Structure 1
Amino acid sequence: MAKWKKPVGRPFLALRGHTYYARLTVPEDVREFFGKTELWQTLKTKNLKDAEYRASRIVTEWKAQIETYRGNVGVAHRALEWRKILEDERRKDAVLIEKFTRQHGYKPTLARDVDELGLGTQQMVYSDELERIYHEEGPDAMRRFADIVEGILLPTPTHVDEYLSSLSVESRTKQQREHHLDLLNKRFPALPVKRSDVTKWIMEMEQQSLAENTIKARVGTCRGYFEFLQRLDYLNPDEANPFEGHKFTSKRKASKQDLRQAFEVSDVPRLIDAAKNKPRKDPNLVAAITIAAYTGMRREEIARLKVAHVKERDGIRFFDIIDAKTKAGLREVPVHSELAALVDELVEKSSDGYLLPGESVTKNGERGDAVGKRFKTLRDGLGFDGRYVFHSIRKTVSTLFERASVSHNEAAEIVGHEKTGMTYSLYSAGMSLVQKQRIIQKITYMRVN
């Protein structure tokens, strides 16, 4: 039986007897789909030039199938694959031409020399691919494909990871922007794009009744990514940013049914009692609701409170909130008299340094997510609809302050809102703990039996 021979410098060819075969090693991550480690197919020729041409077409189809199994089927991905193939061939051909020239004293310009060296084989297959795209998808699709291959257009996802790594934002915000750029890639696989095309995209989103802020956030992320690409010269820095300066006309009117509601003052004790009476004890949920009820703190602020954050100064115990959603959220909140015994118990029984011990942390770094889900189950059991969330307790606290004639800026220092007015927001050192303690004691709940 004839032995296999593998021509030097031609990894996708094998010769058996007088017949050439196409061959490709199957990557390990997709071998289960093919059921084999190598792919082989006879080329039915003994001519090397014909064999190279036929093998290139077959191997290209095999590689496309591999990428399909991997989930990489986009136009941009295929175009980048072709860019790499052609760049590799140009480098290989340059070496062959230089070697031939040294040996013969002239460059290989004759057809027989080109055929013998196998120059430009992949370029011929690429021309066939462009012709196929032209007939199957149209001239515009062919031009876009060719522009990516030739480097005129930049595949949208090429530098997304680099851009996201450059951002100094919270994990959740980074995930939102990654989602926005995924939508951008689905709409525009390559950049730059025409401003008019971006306008059409915005109009389509408006027709989907998306909230104006949602559309603005998506376009804003795209604008920032485009600016990033220009700053690093991945795109022409002198070109106008097509995502800039758009007008938004979709202003969906807010319905009262859509707005988050504050719990009634009498509802808060019901929530606390229901949490205490759960068949399966949940002390963390009880503590979270109770602390929120007497401080107005956000769920995540409570979940991140550590034993070390319970401090005392001038005879007043307080929560030192050093990890908050906003700058205004960094504050000191006195411990309400109704919380004193609970806080003592939480400090004493903490097993991991947190007031709410043992809570899992999400990939976004949030400790309060599971508490929020358990609160939702509790809420549903009491008959409240989706307008009522954990944050609704915070709204109730704000309502109590307003009814007790507490000013906006005083309440803001307790709940962690921005203060109004330049004098207070820029120059004031804030209220003393004594003043805050006086205000926080205005939070009272009447139980309705």
Structure 2
Amino acid sequence: MADYLEKRRQLYYAVLTVPKALQAVLGLRFVKSTGTGDKRRASIIASQLVAGWKLQIEQAKGNDTGFLADAIQFRADIENELDAEHRDTLESVLLDRVSTLEQSQGFTQAKQFYDVAMGTQTPHSLYFDNWKSQLTISPRTAEQYAKDVKVFIEQFPVIEDVNKKGVSLWLDGLSAKGVSRDTQLRIIKGCRNYWKYLSRYNIKGMVEQPFNQVILADKGKKKAPREPFEPHEIVELWSMAKSRQEDTLADLIALGAYTGARIEELCSLMVKDVSEDVFNIIDSKTSAGVRAVPIHSHIKPIIKRLRDGSQDGYLLPNLTVGKFGDRSNTMSTRFSKLKTKAGHGHTKVFHSLRHTLVTTLVNAGVMEFHIADIVGHEKKGVTGNVYAKAISIDVKRVAIEKVSYPFPELT
């Protein structure tokens, strides 16, 4: 801190040079007397003055560094200072900072700054990163939780401001903005996890779980149901992919059409899990999704070509791996662009191929629980328990061969 101190006669002054680009706005440098000739005391005062000036510089640059970060530093300095006189000095500097903040930012932010610095309010930044790092869920889900909790924190910057009524009003506001009920439920799930973590620390003024038994307004955008593709539309998409020399995408479309498998299931298929006659899907998002699917006779030439040509062990080779280790994101994006170019809206996605196959099997008279075994759906209800055991691969093969599309010969 000596770099920010200048001694003039009997007193020390805090000084900080302003970056050249901002000198027209803020002046050449900040200078203020610490009011003392005691270097230790002057250093304490100067550290807080300089912190405030640096915050002004960042704000002048257009960077929102979060004024509460400075309040947290005040809090730590006050709590760690054992000398009563020096602690009084820090609190005096704090009052000066609060006065300046009130003039520039208003009473509400100035009071919040003071409460955080004095330890009567607790910003989420003290706990958020540690909460995120200890999550034991999948990386993708953890990332979504963190994004959702940040939305919550933007509304409630300090923990003591959170209460059940405030949370309900906030969720009503999300509904009014068109945020769907499903999205709100997802946000609540992440926030509930975060609040459960905070409860370990017995934070004074923190309410019990404010996200339990929340009543959501029945408003907001409702997702339009996904629609199946017509068989000729699937062939058109496949033909477009072939004409654009997107052969892997064309193969993916054909496999999806004849298996009803999810895109992530197909993209993660290993060659070792595919024989001449059967896909063994072992990487699925549900236990019911782990299954054996017979290979339709129309796509056997594609399967042979892919198995023989694979050099990385995957049936669909050389796909880009996403940050969470998935191989389907890039292909999903490519399919989305293709179907949009073909004139299909948001209700038709890759998953719609699955709907098409299910619809085709239903229309062909295949039993519901045989279809569930083929596409990896859960079997529910009393009847589901009766048919809980997987049907034979031969029965599935008879069913899958009832599926037909107006493709040219696939090779």
Which bin holds the TM-score, normalised by the shorter protein? 0.7 to 0.9
Matching of residue 284 in structure 1 with residue 248 in structure 2? yes
Identity %: 31
Matching of residue 22 in structure 1 with residue 5 in structure 2? no
1:321 to 281, 286, 293: 281
1:266 to 207, 227, 232: 232
Match of 2:196 in 1: 227
Matching of residue 59 in structure 1 with residue 50 in structure 2? yes
5 Å matches for 1:361-400? Answer: 361-400=321-360
5 Å matches for 1:116-265? Answer: 120-133=88-101, 140-192=108-160, 193-230=162-199, 232-235=200-203, 239-252=207-220, 254=222, 258-265=224-231
Asked if structure 2 preserves the Cα contact closer than 8 Å seen for 1:293 and 1:397, the reply is yes
Q: What CA distance in whole angstroms lies between the structure 2 residues aligned with 1:170 and 1:181?
A: 16
Asked if structure 2 preserves the Cα contact closer than 8 Å seen for 1:22 and 1:40, the reply is no
Matching of residue 356 in structure 1 with residue 310 in structure 2? no
Matching of residue 417 in structure 1 with residue 377 in structure 2? yes
TM (normalized to structure 2)? 0.85
Match of 1:296 in 2: 260
Pair 23,163 (structure 1): closer, same or farther in 2 beyond 3 Å? same
Q: What CA distance in whole angstroms lies between the structure 2 residues aligned with 1:32 and 1:334?
A: 71
Q: What CA distance in whole angstroms lies between the structure 2 residues aligned with 1:129 and 1:427?
A: 71
TM (normalized to structure 1)? 0.78
Offset at residue 175 of structure 1 (A): 2.0
Q: What CA distance in whole angstroms lies between the structure 1 residues aligned with 2:6 and 2:388?
A: 81
Further displaced range: 209-218 or 134-143: 134-143
Q: What CA distance in whole angstroms lies between the structure 1 residues aligned with 2:146 and 2:116?
A: 22
Offset at residue 426 of structure 1 (A): 8.7
Offset at residue 152 of structure 1 (A): 3.3
Q: What CA distance in whole angstroms lies between the structure 2 residues aligned with 1:44 and 1:176?
A: 48
Letter in 2 for 1:225: Y
Structure 2: gaps (5+ residues): none
Q: What CA distance in whole angstroms lies between the structure 1 residues aligned with 2:35 and 2:93?
A: 19
Offset at residue 196 of structure 1 (A): 1.6
Offset at residue 307 of structure 1 (A): 0.9
Match of 1:334 in 2: 294
Match of 1:78 in 2: 70
Offset at residue 291 of structure 1 (A): 0.5
Partner SS for 1:363: coil
Further displaced range: 51-60 or 343-352: 51-60
Offset at residue 308 of structure 1 (A): 1.4
Partner SS for 2:120: coil
Asked if structure 2 preserves the Cα contact closer than 8 Å seen for 1:79 and 1:146, the reply is yes
Q: What CA distance in whole angstroms lies between the structure 2 residues aligned with 1:298 and 1:218?
A: 25
Further displaced range: 283-292 or 265-274: 265-274
Partner SS for 1:48: coil
Offset at residue 326 of structure 1 (A): 2.1
Letter in 2 for 1:341: P
Asked if structure 2 preserves the Cα contact closer than 8 Å seen for 1:309 and 1:321, the reply is yes
Offset at residue 188 of structure 1 (A): 0.5
Letter in 2 for 1:320: N
Match of 1:103 in 2: none
Letter in 1 for 2:69: H
Aligned-pair RMSD on alpha carbons?
3.4
Summarize deviations over 1:222-276 as a string: whole Å, max 9, x none.
122111211x225369942222211112245858xx3322111222222222222
Match of 2:366 in 1: 406
Asked if structure 1 preserves the Cα contact closer than 8 Å seen for 2:12 and 2:42, the reply is yes
Pair 166,413 (structure 1): closer, same or farther in 2 beyond 3 Å? farther
Q: What CA distance in whole angstroms lies between the structure 2 residues aligned with 1:196 and 1:74?
A: 26
Match of 1:275 in 2: 241
Further displaced range: 427-436 or 65-74: 65-74
Match of 1:104 in 2: none
Letter in 1 for 2:177: Q
Q: What CA distance in whole angstroms lies between the structure 2 residues aligned with 1:426 and 1:10?
A: 80
Q: What CA distance in whole angstroms lies between the structure 2 residues aligned with 1:189 and 1:296?
A: 46
Further displaced range: 161-170 or 388-397: 161-170
Q: Rg larger in 1 or in 2?
A: 1
Match of 1:110 in 2: none
Offset at residue 285 of structure 1 (A): 0.6
Pair 420,53 (structure 1): closer, same or farther in 2 beyond 3 Å? closer
Pair 425,152 (structure 1): closer, same or farther in 2 beyond 3 Å? farther
Letter in 2 for 1:48: G
Pair 34,136 (structure 1): closer, same or farther in 2 beyond 3 Å? closer
Pair 297,146 (structure 1): closer, same or farther in 2 beyond 3 Å? same
Letter in 1 for 2:303: V
Further displaced range: 180-189 or 363-372: 363-372
Q: What CA distance in whole angstroms lies between the structure 1 residues aligned with 2:35 and 2:353?
A: 81
Structure 1: gaps (5+ residues): 1-8, 95-113
Match of 1:48 in 2: 37
Letter in 2 for 1:288: L
Q: What CA distance in whole angstroms lies between the structure 2 residues aligned with 1:46 and 1:152?
A: 29
